[in-house]
Structure 1
Amino acid sequence: MFVIQLISLLLAAEIAVVSSSCSSKLERSLFDDLIGMMLKLKGTEHGGHGNEMKLKETPAFSVYRNSPQSLSSSTVVKFDRVWTNNLNGYDVSTGVFTVPVAGLYHFSAVVMSESDKQLFLNLWHNDSKTAGSLSSGNGYKTGTFDVVLDVKKGDRIYIRCRDNNAQKIYSDTDNYSTFSGYLIAK
């Protein structure tokens, strides 16, 4: 904590000195360097991992559907198109993300219902429900998930239709239904 306070004081003093004697380009460069040093000291550079993980080594996925999917009781939602799939944790054929590196993860999803139809889904962690999403009413509706989970290597994360009825997810070329997750911290 002392180091961060000291750097903050030095940063404030440096900005005061810089702004009175340097060009704005040099001032910005010095400021960027100081912020970089603070982040390294705090261990938050590169998404909270210091220098130990590179971008392509960070588990992350972002997938979507660009067509509807009919769901019967307990069917897993299959987001069959990929934007990002670092470490290949998400399987488009099953709709399941298998955790490649243990840690704290953030998962989110937006899933659209058919017009004027109810859509009731659950986010699952292995064999346990973690969150539910209910969309109902007139027109197209979206349900969302936004959770942070502490998971182990090999754990499975997926979205599944509620047990008691058949439903349909809506999506088209505007990619209304999406699912994402990424490692926050090891």
Structure 2
Amino acid sequence: MFIMLSFPLLLLVLTGHIGIVRSSCTSKLEKSLFDDLIGMMLKLKGTEHIAYRKELRQNDIPAFTAYRNSAQRLSSNAIVKFDKLWTNNLSAYDVTTGVFTAPIAGLYHFSAVVMSISGKTLFLHLWHNDSKTAGSYTNGDGHKTGTFDVVLTLKKGDRIYLRCKGGHDSQSIYSDSDNYSTFSGYLIAQ
């Protein structure tokens, strides 16, 4: 068993022995050490030769988090464009179109938080190719947030995006330098 409590403090439990390691490693060195520790644990348990085990590295996993730091005015059926990125492994999210395109088939998790302009209605759907999935409707006084949280099975090339509901012109996504509106997705399993 391996448990990471915090960067400078690492707790390792192997065959009943507990050791505490203090260091100031770089993230690259920490990953290398972590990989070595996992390898040792697998050898201790006799599982290092499992033929079906496929090791994915962090940069091989489709994952993105996009956000807006300004408002976006939406016309009917317009796609929400989260135009800034924190993460975009495999360049699967396109900031110019607002669309995530699955680079590999698998089970994916998607989530989004969208904030309305104060006192205004905001009606959105999460789309999978040309089909609506989850919806979000916010209305009332003050700023409101709508959320999406879905797991979908995708084929390579499938597209995921947020779109304004048809027939609802003049809606807006609110955001500012505090980045209130975000959209994320990542591969769970192949």
TM normalised by structure 1 equals 0.77
The equivalent position to 1:128 in structure 2, one of 94, 108, 131, is 131
Q: Judge conservation of contact 2:79–2:162 (CA < 8 Å) in 1.
A: yes
User: Quick one: which of 164, 174, 178 aligns to 2:182?
Assistant: 178
Deviation at 1:52, TM superposition (A): 2.3
Q: Distance in 2 between matches of 1:138 and 1:111?
A: 16
1:147 to 137, 144, 150: 150
Give the 3-state SS of the residue equivalent to 1:56 in structure 2: helix
> Root-mean-square deviation (CA), in Å?
2.8
**3-state SS of 2:78 partner:** coil
Deviations 1:27-54 (A, max 9, x none): xxxxx7699539995xxxxxxx955211
Identity of aligned residues (%): 61
Task: Give the 3-state SS of the residue equivalent to 2:88 in structure 1.
Answer: strand
1:89-100 alignment, distance < 5 Å: 89-100=92-103
Match of residue 70, structure 1, among 63, 70, 73: 73
Whether contact under 8 Å (2:14, 2:41) holds in the other structure is no
Match of 1:7 in 2: none
The answer on whether the counterparts of 1:73 and 1:163 sit within 8 Å (CA) in structure 2 is yes
TM-score scaled by length of structure 2: 0.75
Structure 1 runs (4+) deviating above 6 angstroms are none
Residue-pair matches, total:
159
Structure number with larger C-alpha Rg: 1
Bigger helix fraction? 1
Distance 1:60 1:39 in 2: 31
Residue 117 (structure 1) shift: 0.6
What amino acid does structure 2 have at the position aligned with 1:151?
L
Q: Cα 1:176–1:36, aligned 2, differ >3 Å: closer, same or farther?
A: farther
Whole-angstrom distance in 2 between the partners of 1:40 and 1:148: 34
Unaligned 5+ runs, structure 2? 1-12, 22-36
